[in-house]
Amino acid sequence: MRDSAVDCDVIVIGGGPAGSTAAAWLARAGRSVILFERDMFPRFHIGESLLASVNDALAAIGAADIVRAAGFPQKWGATFMSADGIVERFADFAEAPGVPMPQTWQVPRATFDQLLLRHAAASGADVRQGCRVLDVAVEAGGVTATIQATNGTSAAHAVRGHAVIDASGRGSVLSRKLRLRIDEPRLANLAVFSHYSNVPRREGRRAGDIRIVSRPDLGWFWLIPISAELMSVGVVLPRTAARGFQGVDHGALLERAIGETPAVAALLANARREWPVRIEKDFSFGSRAYAGDRWLLAGDAGSFLDPVFSTGVAIAVESGLEAAQAAADGLAAGDLSARTFRRYARRQYQRYRSFRRFVLGFYTPEFRELFFAENPPLRMFRSLVTVFAGYWRPPLTTRMWVAAFFVLVRLQRWIRIAPRLGAHPMETHGPAAAG
């Protein structure tokens, strides 16, 4: 491939975790990179609970110390609770096999994303905020991005590179243009959320846990301590459960869902809402492709899965890193064709499929019945936690335990291995039972 005159090696679209990670790695590898970010940071973004696997990507771009110095709440795992709070499963990343650095963070994304974007610039990337990428054209001699200032003060202009990494999040420039998106009708969920103060926390090491509270309608709550004062609180409702809230104002919906979920209502008894209530829906989707000639999709620009296992930022930083490495390899080999990126694309697809199995499972009664069952086999439970920590491709023994869990989930449909949801404390105390 002979390239005509270009402004940089790689154009990165989007300054979220995926884009900043890609840009930082490429710049540190000596590649010229221009990153365009539509917004001016800091800006609000949902997605505040990180997985342990994020540590590896942060270390790879030299940002681990910067994030550590920011003093975010420490997260060691997740506590899964029944709606009435009687049943608790603590997924401790430190006890899971194959998790090298179990402690991770809960982050206000405005601060976290700004740290990473600044780090990309400090690493040598040309970071241009307030610049929207309107279009990308991929030609034989390079890629051309059409850029316009978000505040509309200047005319659109073109910037050329050898390759492009699209990390523009769920609005993905390339995915929309190439019609790559695959809907996930089984995950057409609704999320309603805000930030609260004065919510009690645990003492010590578990103070920074995310709490996931299961609802009898197969929805669930998250409670994430994102700073010393603030708790991010949100409810995710499957489409069928959301129907029961139709026509209800967002604030009232959140309040009603809180009131219906005794464990959450107890925790928020004296809480004060500090932010507007926000809503997101239909956020899960797959992709027909993750790379092609001269282009790669990273993070949500490729695909996104329901937030129940907090995989979003972990996938974003890992895929950002892998996209950067694939682009650098292609540049070094003088081959930026889809063939060069085949391995990258396969890995993105496999990761998506691997987490998807868990996410789809979580919205079935049989998965939750087994997950909340008393005294689960320890090796099996810890193997699941390895995946919950972000290590989706663990060593063989761990994978076998995970596979065994899914066999039991299938069997649970027909044979009662664990108590049915109707016989479970979380249902007998919940609104479904009452109704």
Ligand X SMILES: Cc1cc2nc3c(=O)[nH]c(=O)nc-3n(C[C@H](O)[C@H](O)[C@H](O)COP(=O)(O)OP(=O)(O)OC[C@H]3O[C@@H](n4cnc5c(N)ncnc54)[C@H](O)[C@@H]3O)c2cc1C
The footprint of ligand X (CB under 6 A) covers 13-19, 36-39, 45-50, 132-133, 167-169, 171, 173, 191, 280, 283, 299-301, 304, 307, 310, 312-314, 316
What region, left, alpha or beta, does residue 169 occupy, with left being phi > 0 and alpha being psi -120 to 50 degrees?
left
Please tell me the distance from the alpha carbon of residue 14 to that of residue 116, in angstroms, as a whole number.
12
Q: Name the nearest CA neighbour of 391 among 41, 91, 33.
A: 91
Q: Of 37 and 260, which has the nearer Cβ to ligand X?
A: 37
Decide if 169 contacts 39 (C-beta within 8 A).
Answer: no
**Alpha-carbon Rg of the chain, whole angstroms?**
22
Q: Report in angstroms how near the CB of residue 280 gets to ligand X at its nearest.
A: 4
Q: Report in angstroms how near the CB of residue 41 gets to ligand X at its nearest.
A: 8
Q: Of 206 and 380, which has the nearer Cβ to ligand X?
A: 206
Q: Report in angstroms how near the CB of residue 234 gets to ligand X at its nearest.
A: 6
Q: Name the nearest CA neighbour of 253 among 197, 192, 177, 211.
A: 192
Decide if 317 contacts 18 (C-beta within 8 A).
Answer: yes
Q: Of 36 and 401, which has the nearer Cβ to ligand X?
A: 36
Q: Report in angstroms how near the CB of residue 210 gets to ligand X at its nearest.
A: 7
Q: Of 49 and 214, which has the nearer Cβ to ligand X?
A: 49
- Residue recorded with tokens 């050329």: 160
Q: Report in angstroms how near the CB of residue 389 gets to ligand X at its nearest.
A: 12
Decide if 12 contacts 32 (C-beta within 8 A).
Answer: no
Q: Name the nearest CA neighbour of 219 among 418, 362, 369, 366.
A: 362
Please tell me the distance from the alpha carbon of residue 231 to that of residue 225, in angstroms, as a whole number.
4
CA angle 42/24/280 to nearest 5° reads 40
Decide if 216 contacts 427 (C-beta within 8 A).
Answer: yes
Determine phi and psi for 233, rounding to 5 degrees: -130, 130
Coil, helix or strand at residue 418: coil
Q: Of 19 and 431, which has the nearer Cβ to ligand X?
A: 19
Q: Report in angstroms how near the CB of residue 300 gets to ligand X at its nearest.
A: 4
Please tell me the distance from the alpha carbon of residue 330 to that of residue 210, in angstroms, as a whole number.
39
Q: Report in angstroms how near the CB of residue 171 gets to ligand X at its nearest.
A: 5
* Residues in the chain, overall count: 435
DSSP string, 305-343: --GGG--HHHHHHHHHHHHHHHHHHHHHHT--STTTTHH
Q: Of 301 and 408, which has the nearer Cβ to ligand X?
A: 301
Burial of 200 (0-12, 13-18, 19+ CB in 10 A): exposed
Q: Of 8 and 370, which has the nearer Cβ to ligand X?
A: 8
Q: Report in angstroms how near the CB of residue 222 gets to ligand X at its nearest.
A: 7
Checking DSSP bridges between strand 278-281 and strand 157-166, what pairing results, if any? unpaired
Q: Of 286 and 427, which has the nearer Cβ to ligand X?
A: 286
Q: Of 39 and 329, which has the nearer Cβ to ligand X?
A: 39
Please tell me the distance from the alpha carbon of residue 349 to that of residue 355, in angstroms, as a whole number.
10
Determine phi and psi for 18, rounding to 5 degrees: -65, -50
Q: Report in angstroms how near the CB of residue 380 gets to ligand X at its nearest.
A: 25
Q: Report in angstroms how near the CB of residue 339 gets to ligand X at its nearest.
A: 25
Coil, helix or strand at residue 131: strand
Q: Of 299 and 431, which has the nearer Cβ to ligand X?
A: 299
Q: Of 258 and 409, which has the nearer Cβ to ligand X?
A: 258
Q: Report in angstroms how near the CB of residue 177 gets to ligand X at its nearest.
A: 11
